[in-house]
Amino acid sequence: MTFRGTGTCGMALGEALVVKKNLDKVSYQKGSPDEEMRVVTQALQDTKDLLLSKSHDEAVFSAHFEIADDPELQEAIEAYIHDGMSAPDAIDAAMIDIEGLFRNIDDEYLQARADDVRDVCLQIKDSILNPSRQNPFQDINQPCVLVTDELLPSDISLINFEYVQGIVTAKGNRTSHVCIITANKGIPMLVNAAHCMEEIKQGDYLCLNASEGWVQINPDEESINHFRKQTELHSFQLREMNGCAMQSATTVSGKTVPVMGNAGSLDDIKTAVLSGADGIGLFRSEFLFMQRDGFPDEETQFQVYEEAARLCGEKTLTIRTLDIGGDKSLPYMPLPKEENPFLGQRGIRFCLANTTLFKTQIRAILRASHWGNVQIMLPFISDISELEKTLALIEECKKELEEQHFAFDAGIKTGIMVETPSVVLLASEFASRTDFFSIGTNDLTQYIMVADRGNAEVSEYYVQTHPAVLRAIEHVAEAAHKHHIPVSVCGELASDPESIQLLLKAGIDKLSVNASAIALVKDRIRHSH
């Protein structure tokens, strides 16, 4: 029997060790609302103390502390308790509500932040139902393929990875912190393998191919031997690729193609640079706005952008301005409900409608540009007027900073995300007014093919290598080169090994991918013409 899911990278084989983490079966005696709130308050404090003690080891725990310390979480739990729920049930209900806000965001990275909310809430619940904090992974003491319902960042410190050859989970997201951590450890992981917990039994022999997204249960001896040879070959190739990851990638025909990193936090930037990134092609600034209870001020943003620039050194740091609105909401700024959020007030439209907030971010980025090779990238542009208004705001901010004697790079480059058909059709006009293009193939495919990429009913239409999409990419690249500006791809297509040759043939100059894909993408470039 074979299960499919979403994999990271790598292959493994071995006996399954199945770990079921299920606190729901633990008996719990509900008290009065006041008693339940006291239980929750104590559990919150215990969880925050634990996260604070771990924050020095992994940056993710600092982010988890902020979630646990968010008054909105406690208020949501308290509301459900006053509605008559027990403390554990109220935590579950609040978790589902907050998770939903992230799950509905049309951004794979931000969707994965729902896992962080879930992790924190389950830790709070665990403090109530499992006060002894029994380790569910304590039986990992010999080589195995770990199979579990889900793996969360808080589980990482509980696992002896010396014996873990591979991981299979029923839930999860390949852009989650866990996938990034396990990828850095060189452990192949398959997430979203639905029903694996029901079908895989303790001791079953598994062949896991995370690169291709499948796991096979109890194959015959011939299949096992064939898979073992493939695994040995893959390990050899992976060692070679990782060994060359810090070197530049040049095609067979002699063209050097920079491979940049996509990042959504300072920790992601560190990982990307250590993984061989030639710079950061997409630094999502949304995390700064979504992990707090109000808009971050200029100084707060500046400190993060400055640190990001320092981490990149001489390498380029491309900061995407706030891509919010429509389907991406902020908890402290309710947005009007829209019939079709993908065609609504999002990205640059939101920023231009809130120029005070926008100028605060622009000023912070400009100030950070003094400390590194920083670029500004504008999301969801669809009209020349949006670009011209933004460029005018940037000039306005420069004058203000000059008057206030702040240092910044006066020649900072400004580019745009190519995500809409209107920009494709007017690519030459946009290219004459901007310094670089970065094609967001996820949204561009969605708009060209008129297929919501989150809707399974139309998934057959959402094809990123469709001739119409590839022709659009070629047209954009041709216009960029006509005006002597570089063009990159930062969407999922950039990390698809089978599509790299197509993108290079279309005229793409740079690729920007998640850290875990950098070595593989560079290797594919070296074998491309």
Tell me, rounded to whole angstroms, the distance of Cα 250 from its chain centroid: 27
C-alpha neighbours within 13 Å on the C-beta side of residue 299: 0
By three-state DSSP, how is residue 117 classified? Answer: helix
Q: Among 144, 196, 351, 490, which one carries the catalytic annotation? A: 490
Rg over CA atoms, the chain: 24
DSSP letter for 324, please.
Answer: -
Return the H-helix or E-strand segment holding 261: strand 259-263
Rounded CA gap, 238 and 122, in Å? 35
If DSSP codes are grouped into helix, strand and coil, which group holds residue 246? coil
Query: At 148, phi and psi to the nearest 5?
Result: -150, 165
- CA atoms in the 13 A half-sphere facing the CB of 249: 29
> Of residues 177, 179, 196, 351, which has the active-site annotation?
177
What is the torsional sign of CA 39, 41, 45, 48? positive
Residue 70 tokens, joined: 């968010």
Tokens, residue 23: 């606190």
Cα(329)–Cα(483) distance, integer angstroms: 36
∠ CA 364-61-130, nearest 5°, is 150
Catalytic (active site) residue 177: yes
Length of the chain in terms of residues written: 529
- Record the tokens describing residue 350, joined without a space: 């939101």
Catalytic residue check, 195: no
Kindly report the CA angle at 466 between 459 and 111, in degrees rounded to 5?
Answer: 45
Kindly give, in sequence order, each residue whose CB lies less than 8 Å from that of residue 414, ignoring residues fewer than 6 positions away: 375, 376, 377, 378, 390, 391, 394, 434, 435
**Cβ(512)–Cβ(262) under 8 Å?**
yes
Tell me how far apart the alpha carbons of residues 431 and 115 are, in angstroms, rounded to a whole number: 39
Let me know: does 275 contact 292? Beta carbons within 8 Å: no
Q: How far apart are CA 343 and CA 325, in angstroms?
A: 10
- Is there a contact between 10 and 186 (Cβ–Cβ < 8 Å)? yes
**Distance between CA atoms of residues 440 and 496, nearest Å:** 14
Structure tokens belonging to residue 294: 């109000």
E-strand ranges in 337-449 read 373-378, 413-418, 437-439
Q: Which residues are catalytic?
A: 177, 490
